[in-house]
Amino acid sequence: METLNMKISGMTCMGCVGSVKRVLNGIAGVAGAEVSLTPGSATVSYDPAQTNPDALKAAVTEAGYDVS
């Protein structure tokens, strides 16, 4: 397993946090995702044989949030 820390902007409420968490946990190879409204971040544990940081970031972007 590997871990990716992402800064996410555009989340304004706990509903946003839940949406980001659902999107990340729905990706094959993700073992778990912890999302925080303040300071706007996510920590994702994933299997690099099944997914990669670019795919994780793209999924969050497609959900309507900015990732840096």
The CB density around residue 1, as the number of other CB atoms within 10 Å, is 10
Across 1-68, where does the E strand assignment appear? 2-9, 30-36, 41-46, 66-67
Segment 17-34 shows an average pLDDT of: 97
Alpha carbon distance 28, 54 (integer Å): 14
Give domain limits for the chain.
2-60
Residue 15 pLDDT class (50, 70, 90 cuts): very high
What proportion of the chain, given as a percentage, has pLDDT over 90? Answer: 99
Kindly tell me the burial class for residue 28, based on how many C-beta atoms sit within 10 Å of its own C-beta (0-12, 13-18, 19 or more).
exposed
68 pLDDT exceeds 90?
Answer: no
Q: pLDDT tens digit string along 29-56?
A: 999 999 999 999 999 999 999 999 999 9
Burial class (CB in 10 A: 0-12, 13-18, 19+), 61: middle
CATH topology of domain 2-60: Alpha-Beta Plaits (3.30.70)
What is the rounded average pLDDT for all residues in the chain?
97
